[in-house]
Amino acid sequence: MTDDPRTLVSTDWLAKHINDPDLRIVDASWHMPDQNRDARAEYDAAHIPGARFFDIDEISDQRSELPHMAPPPEKFISRMRAMGIGDGHQVIVYDTHGMLSAARVWWTFKLMGKDDVAVLDGGLPKWQAEGREIEDMPPVIRDRHMTVTRRNHLVRDVTQVAEASKLDTPQILDARAAERFAGSVKEPREGLRAGHIPGSKNLPFNRLLHDDGTMKDEAGLRAEFDAAGIDLGRPVITTCGSGITAAVLALGLARIGHDDWSVYDGSWTEWGAFADLPVATGDA
């Protein structure tokens, strides 16, 4: 893979730069509620040296009834300063799955106007499989000022997505598993209808990944987007269950130089809950 500190870097890259004074490592691990795993406790027990823990559910807009919606800028600034992350830092984000929630935090930094942020390819599993160092010590925190410029074009709300559904522009791409997209299985969250946004296409996020959780190369990514029926000359809105794996698709688009994308933050947790929004079933 080609290392790019604005999208994706290898474990070799991180090992080489881990002691850089302006590098900040973030553990963005998150698990579905039904997995009965405690991401914070797992971080406390073992993490890449110097990593800070980013609590996706807490660093969010808790005024919303929807889960882990993007935080207001002032809350993001407050939490990042408390984590010792500020202007001028290169941020590397990883998770314990290999590639899942780390992309969501990458997107959150991008949304807040930060470009020097990348996902660790293969995450903690690859790092540990290579026998690299982990620790259970909390990092030394030094406060640094942070400024934020929210990029509203990187996020879409339900009204904008409903318009895109009717007009077929931008294209809507759903990262959920094919069975959930088709509506042939029950949604994992209670109270949600099964199916997908009318007019949307399906590309399960793991299709962009190798079995070890690393991301495919540019040719492989382009092939997957093409197979899903996406025109890479047009804008794309990515969606999923609750805005987590939609960011994996966004990262994949960024990796191939397609920058006209946005994430539907509410995703199916919002769309599937409202009876007045149309739902399609079956294959795309």
Query: Which amino acid type is present at position 140?
Result: V
* Catalytically annotated residue among 56, 117, 240, 250: 240
The verdict on whether 240 is a catalytic residue reads yes
Residues designated catalytic: 240
